[in-house]
Structure 1
Amino acid sequence: MTTATAAPFRFFALQVVRTARLGLSLVRVTFAGDDLAFFASAGRDQSLSLFLPHPGQDAPAVPVELGDGWWQGWRELPDDVRAVMRSYTLRALRADARGRTTEIDIDFVLHGVEPAAVAPAGPASLWASRAGAGDRVLLLGPAVADNRAIRFRPPTGTDLVVIWADETAVPAASAILEQLPAGTRAQVWLEAGQAGDIQDLATAADAEITWLVRGAGAGTGKGTSASAHTGTGAPTALEAIRAAQLPSAERPYVWIAGESSAVKELRRHLVRERGIDRRAVTFVGYWRRGLSEEQLREQPE
């Protein structure tokens, strides 16, 4: 396969090497491949485009030989042939002694794969729930460590980091927390669909982490742990953050990511009601309720 470069990004032909279940609806998939020697990322909330094969295909169909014209070529493939493309964030990478990347991890939220699911699983959830060693994928990712697909960029002098993420953005938030320097003050809210999806998170930061478990109450943790408490129902993200007393700070920085309408609502609250400088708020809509990724990409800017 000929790989194409779209600096600072390029295609990487990868294979699954192992999977690990992280929770009731979370699975981590580890990928490797010779192409990863050219993969470079500074981590944090690094975005990636993952191309998956349809059932019955042994590899995703993407005309990478078209170089910079791959997008149009991919769009012109028949619907039942064209690889499924989904956006994810890098959870972790590992490198050899020479600094060359050897493995990367991507965490998948599984929707609709359980027997009693109300809605059927989407193609990415279905693929991840069945992924096994040797399965082939294609990744459009960074060839330059500091690239525009990294959005978490606190300004110099930031004295408080505020984070909110729903379950689709928890992998990115977790990677951010792992890289925060010791002593960094952080106030963090993370959403989970159920208490079984709460994770212990490692961080050197002085981080207060609150898990919002929909329908089951809230759990709070300091640093690396959190616990869930049963209740009449978890508050919404806006309710939880509006009710919170944020630590005093002269230069707070906010990173919020997840469902688009929730992200916009939170940004409005933090800027208008909290008075945080809008230039110090990074907000990213990872998905939009009621729309598939294909539909979302077709929406006007």
Structure 2
Amino acid sequence: MSTATVAPFRFFDIVVAGVERLSPTMIRVAFAGPALAAMESAGRDQRIKLFFPHPGQDAPVMPDDDGTNWYPAWQALDPAVRGIMRTYTTRSLTRAPDRLVVDFAVHGETGPGSRWALRAAPGDRLSVLAPIVAENVAYDFRPPAGTDWLLVTADETALPAVAGIFAALPADLPVRAWIEVADAGDRLAPATAADAEVTWLVRGEAAPVTEALRAAELPGGAPYAWVAGESATVRAVRRHLVRERGFDRRAVTFSGYWRRGTTEDQLLAAAESA
């Protein structure tokens, strides 16, 4: 007798239910869909894959796959036709009614996600690859037992993940965070029960996050660091924490959300040709 294996991720067709401008570079989009009741999220920095249509398409062209073998199935489609894939963070997933909320850091016409979000309107259709089990591999914030305090560095692309992480923190946990944003209006303070001290760094008006961190006095005790944003900055922060501050490598979670001078299409093409 065989036992069926349920894929931990699947495709969902979603439609825009509402759009809200949060700040000069952040747009919040709420999505609805009849199948969203099956979607799950671990919260925190839960990653999902959004698929955008090409110009002239009403909805993205997607593979005929339930999510079990999604990447080869998507990769096999014509790149000029298939849905344009980008990685985002689940800002929230709520019930009654079922809604998926995603915050988009927009930067003009320089990417498909930004272009789409700037024009998003109720009724627009996308597809998303998302988990159907809350405990899944697509989130990284996992502080080890015995963590005494949390260090966070991020830029505006990681603000939705920072908000999810802060919302999940226990009361009174000491947190030191440095967040770099493009505009003073992007300082969207994340709600939390933790004892959080957030330093906002407006790009061009304050020292870069690496310099600000080097000048900072940090708490004692066992730290856990979550570092996200531009890839080169993330690597520099990790080197500083491990080599200069003596952080245990296993207590530093780092993720490059984007790479200066390189598009996600170029990164995907390099990975596919490797």
TM interval, shorter chain, is over 0.9
1:217-228 to 2 correspondence within 5 Å? none
Kindly state the Cα deviation for residue 59 of structure 1 after the two structures are TM-superposed. 0.8
Cα distance change on mapping 1:6 and 1:60 into 2, 3 Å? farther
- Partner amino acid for 2:57? Q
Runs ≥4 residues deviating over 4 A: none
Partner of 2:101: 105
Number of residue pairs the alignment of both structures matches: 268
Q: 1:266 to 1:63 in 2, by over 3 A?
A: same
TM-score by length of 2: 0.93
Aligned to 2:211: 239
Partners in 1 of 2:71 and 2:6 — Cα distance? 11
| TM-fit CA distance, 1:299 | 3.4
Q: CA contact under 8 A between 1:62 and 1:70: conserved in structure 2? A: no
Q: What aligned pairs does 1:77-226 form with structure 2 within 5 A after superposition?
A: 77-96=77-96, 102-112=98-108, 120-216=109-205
Q: Given the two structures, how large is their TM-score scaled by the length of structure 1?
A: 0.85
Helix, strand or coil at the partner of 1:177:
helix
Once the two structures are overlaid, the 10-residue window that deviates more, 41-50 or 79-88, is: 79-88
Asked if 1:248 corresponds to 2:244, the answer is no
- Checking the alignment, whether the CA contact within 8 Å between 2:65 and 2:73 is kept in structure 1 is no
Q: Give the letter for the 1:289 counterpart.
A: R
Matched residue type, 2:107: H
Q: Quick one: structure 1 residues 276 and 14, their matched pair in 2 at CA, closer, same or farther if it must change by over 3 Å?
A: same
- State the alpha-carbon separation in 2 of the partners of residues 174 and 14 from structure 1: 23
- 2: CA distance between counterparts of 1:174 and 1:154? 16
> Could you tell me which amino acid in structure 2 is paired with residue 141 of structure 1?
A
Aligned-partner Cα distance in 1 for 2:217–2:64: 50
Give me the whole-angstrom Cα distance separating, in 2, the residues matched to 1:153 and 1:242: 24
3-state SS of the aligned residue for 1:60?
coil
Structure 1 stretches lacking a partner, 5+ long? 113-119, 217-233
1: CA distance between counterparts of 2:6 and 2:209?
37
Cα distance in 1 between the residues matched to 2:59 and 2:269: 25
Shift of 1:190: 1.0
The alignment partner of 1:238 has SS state of helix
Distance 1:247 1:69, change over 3 A: closer
**Structure 1 residue 81, shift from structure 2 partner:** 1.4
For 1:263, which of 220, 224, 234 is the aligned residue?
234
> What RMSD in Å do the two structures reach over aligned CA positions?
1.7
Paired with 1:169 and 1:83, the residues of 2 have a C-alpha distance of: 23
Task: Read off the aligned partner of 1:255 and give its amino acid letter.
Answer: W
**For 1:81-115, what per-residue CA distance to the aligned partner results, in whole angstroms no more than 9, with x for missing partners?**
1111000011112123xxxx711111111112xxx
> Per-residue deviation at 1:19?
0.6
Partners of 1:193 and 1:93 lie apart in 2 by 27
**How many angstroms does 1:41 deviate by?**
1.2
Between the two structures, name the one with larger relative contact order (CA 8 Å, sep ≥ 6): 2
Q: In the TM superposition, what is the alpha-carbon distance from 1:197 to its structure 2 partner?
A: 1.1
Aligned residue in 1 for 2:60: 60
Closer, same or farther in 2 for the Cα pair 1:62/1:6, shift >3 Å? farther
Q: Deviations over 1:263-294 (max 9, x none)?
A: 11100000000001001000011111111112
Kept in 1, the 8 Å contact 2:91–2:164? The answer is yes
Amino acid at match of 1:241: L
Secondary structure of the 1:34 match is: coil
Report how far residue 69 of structure 1 moved. 4.2
Determine the structure 2 residue equivalent to 1:223.
Answer: none
C-alpha displacement at 1:76, in angstroms? 3.5
Distance 1:63 1:155, change over 3 A: same
- Between the aligned partners of 1:69 and 1:159, the Cα distance in structure 2 is 40
Question: Structure 1 6/196 Cα, relative in aligned 2: closer, same or farther at 3 Å?
Answer: farther
- Per the alignment, residue 268 of structure 2 pairs with 297
Q: Residue 6 of structure 1: CA displacement?
A: 6.9
